Structure 1
């Protein structure tokens, strides 16, 4: 499936699956921004001995290239449905996938990223996915919004949600 191109209906961008360890997808916008969507394996998040550890991926959404004169990507109504289609494609190939999305806080815009990701989630087939939001707080008081997404029909959904909540509690304990 590496370097496979997916064509999309008019309301989405075409995208490519580049593969690799991080399961990279890419697409180019009309505004000359190239995005990469990564599904990085993170088996350690629920503990390496968890029965679900081999299904856990961190979702990373990043601008890979900016070929425009703009500093940051402008609003583009085709980005959200493209990311939703990429997400769905990844789950079709790995239906027991568990995705964790941790909002980047390097520029203190993590709450804005959380709101944007929640809006993007509106484009997903929500009857097929369950999303649970929470946050991790570091010792300096910085909050990192975190989302978990799992297929609604995953036979281990309840255990996965409990593992996620225990993970959050573990990170937040004594802070």
Structure 2
């Protein structure tokens, strides 16, 4: 069971939903054709950065452990992939507040709980110039015909980042 959501679209392919506590989340699939070094136009045209954004919290406290949130994120993910079956999603955990590992654990939990073997997820760590670490995940459909090339581009992205 998940929350009702709606697709607003726009530049970020935005989805929105509201929890029982009045918290509003935005799920985006931001087009990022520059992310991978690939000459394959299908990979370039189908690469998106996936983000889960807390848009509004009327309580200004940490949201509760609401199981419907994970189910809703997964339902949105499925809806997006129905629209773009060759989509390539890259999830980069926000680290602005130092809680990136908490976000990664939560996302990993949702993936394990709700994945019906439709998707494959590969995890890596990116580092910035100050050696701050950012968990990153690649999520694609198992039926994507360019799986091997996408995996290679993802590994290359993380390798280039560590140089």
TM-score (norm 1): 0.88
1:98 matches 2:103:
no
Which of the pair has the greater relative contact order for Cα pairs under 8 Å at 6+ separation? Answer: 2
SS at match of 1:113: helix
Question: Which of these residues, 9, 33, 43, is aligned with residue 19 of structure 1?
Answer: 9
Q: Which residue of 2 aligns with 1:8?
A: none
Equivalents in 2 of 1:113, 1:119: separation in Å? 10
Cα distance change of structure 1 residues 87 and 29 upon mapping to structure 2, 3 Å threshold: same
Equivalents in 2 of 1:80, 1:125: separation in Å? 11
Equivalents in 1 of 2:93, 2:33: separation in Å? 19
- Number of matched residues? 162
Judge conservation of contact 1:84–1:124 (CA < 8 Å) in 2: yes
Which aligned runs of 4 or more in structure 1 are off by greater than 4 angstroms? none
1:58 matches 2:70:
no
SS at match of 2:67: coil
Q: Which residue of 2 aligns with 1:110?
A: 100
1:87 matches 2:77:
yes
Instruction: Please report how far the alpha carbon of residue 70 of structure 1 lies from its aligned counterpart in structure 2 after TM superposition.
Output: 4.0
Structure 1 gap segments, 5+ residues each: 1-10
- 1:38-62 Cα distance to aligned partner (Å, 9 max, x none): 0000000003744311100000101
Larger fraction in helix: 2
- 1:94-148 Cα distance to aligned partner (Å, 9 max, x none): 0000000001111111111111110111243341100000110122121100000
Judge conservation of contact 1:84–1:123 (CA < 8 Å) in 2: no
Q: Which residue of 1 aligns with 2:134?
A: 144
TM-score (norm 2): 0.95
User: What's the Cα RMSD here?
Assistant: 1.2
